[in-house]
Structure 1
Amino acid sequence: MATEKTSEELLRGQAEIWQHMFSFANSMALKCAVELRIADIIHSHGGTPITLSQIASCIDNSPSPDIPYLARIMRLLVRKNIFTVHHQLSEGSGSESTLYGLTHVSRWLLHDSDLSLAPMIVIGNHPWTVAPWHCFSTFVKEGGTSAFEKAHGRDVWDFASQNPEFNNMFNDGMACTTRIITRAIMTGYKDGFGCIRSLVDVGGGTGTMVAEIVKSHLHIKATNFGLPHVITTAPLIDGVCHVGGDMFKEIPKADAVFMKWILHDWSDEDCVKILRNCRKAIPAKSGKVTIVEIVLQPDGNGTFDEIGLVFDLLMMAHTSGGKERTELQWKKLLEEGGFPRYKIISIPALLSIIEAYPE
């Protein structure tokens, strides 16, 4: 019996290694579905299941799509619960049709939805962003500033500033995740903006987040503060002033500082510098910093706990010293940055809110 059990465990282990080895196939098939807009095509038919021929006929710039190839990709995506499959007998002829429909997962692939991860899937699986992952073993052996720099010869911010295509894809990816996180923030942090008159969103990209804040809180005078090459692409937003600058040098004055998915890009030393500049930017007694980040639970079983660990490796791939952090690590950073008090507020999202106070 012991021998049989060992043999079964070895077999399961082999199967798991195969799955891990080719897990990239899932993300590549997902990327294909986004690029072909398969979810959008099904959605345009009222969301009711349709045939492969109907899907293929609606693929842009494709006069003769290969339906057998499409069928093989869809078969894996159905297995992964991205789409549904239904087999239906046609009345009279007795022939069977195969119909594909949407699931609660594929609805996150719709390009025109406010809740879409499609742009993030495109940038996350682009050869430019995947290349640094291939440098992990070299990075571990030799160290260095970032895996991204080993792959491309420059850090991600320099790369973006000199590559408009990458910069636009990156901004689109950040904007789509911001819309999703914004909804969670507005649901779980309703009273967080009520008592402040002025707010600066540090590293706010093209202003998606701060636009939603001022829309719901008309009394707030808001500043979207970021790198000049990002700010130049930001649209005009009522109630928002776009300001280009360097958060390592100075942050505009305000009652409160807001930072979403900023500090995880930087080393502990850099985070302390940013936090100290935040401390200088706000009133000594009444000011606060609202930080929206992952709070790692390495042994947790929550909905997003495992993806938090994946994001930690993503930081290793794309940033110079960036990381996701546990509560104890956040506590240490905040204290060194001039914020001895804090509280963590859970919201329905991958991220949590860390509200920090200078006194």
Structure 2
Amino acid sequence: MKAVICEAPQSLGVDIRSKPERRPDDLLIRIRRVGLCGTDYHIFAGNQPFLAYPRVMGHELAGTVAETDARSAFREGDLVTVNPYLSCGQCIACRKGKPNCCVDIRVLGVHIDGGMTEYLSVPESAVLAVDGLTYDQAAMVEFLSVGAHAVRRGQTQFGDRALIVGAGPIGVGAALFAAMSGAEVTLIDTSPQRLRYARERVGISNTAVVDEGLEAYLVERTDAEFFDIVFDCTGSAKAIEKGFGYVAHGGRYVLVSVVKDTISFADPEFHKREMQLIGSRNATSEDFARVISAIRDGLIPTDALKTHSFPLFDLPSVIPDLIANQGSVLKAIAEL
């Protein structure tokens, strides 16, 4: 079978590998769609902190069950998605019901090879049925779950003024679920093109470009009180540091991004606000279930979220254009 392999930063190719044998308690999945994530772009660029090369990328997956056994809850041909965060089940985080930050976590496409291939053998416990969804929708469940998890981590509630920094897929997902939680959402980004798309196609009404006029806009929008909850979804250390100043007194700051850099902030400003600084990593089965339900109920504009598609094994030739035109790319989905 074919697989897309990132051999090293800036080096992406297609190789032939043996079709995997299904392991005990696994399902063999025939991959049908793979969403491209910011993590994949970071792997290609060489700035993903948890990865060793070479690596088969891909963790936003949709497929059909190709092989199972009689004891399984699944049958051949079932449409599924995959929770790519494979946990140990025994560490302190797992014992506390937080497998998304397992001490020995193995994330498909990051710590171990992922789904940019024709077949993948994964534990049945990581597979979720998504009957009623399309292939494209099934491939969107994971990234939307990351946004939903961040909103849940921040205890977002009705009446909150929520600022989402970064209008990429994770930021847009966080904005959608924050709005579902009753928050008043503002979305900011450096790209006017991304913001226009989020406003006109996705339905996120309040947006602002990060420029010299941003501070005045945020002051006016919040009566100079700033935001009950701020989500950073940028992948930029400078943006994360700037975001501390957008949090209201008594507010929460949720860091969804992961960067290699050391982050610093002014301790007096942090203390006088009694700010809560919250890390949000990956997602849990609870978040996946919420997202699947929201898509089935028509609450997510999935048709608007997908902006690009192409055959998976064309990715080595396609990815430079996707990176060069990030302003027009919300969610690119590779097809098999």
Q: Same fold (TM over 0.5)?
A: no
| TM-score when normalising by structure 2 | 0.39
Q: Higher helix share goes to which structure?
A: 1
Instruction: Give 1 or 2 for the bigger CA radius of gyration.
Output: 1
Using CA pairs under 8 Å that are at least 6 residues apart, name the structure with larger relative contact order, 1 or 2. Answer: 2
| TM-score when normalising by structure 1 | 0.37
Q: Higher strand share goes to which structure?
A: 2
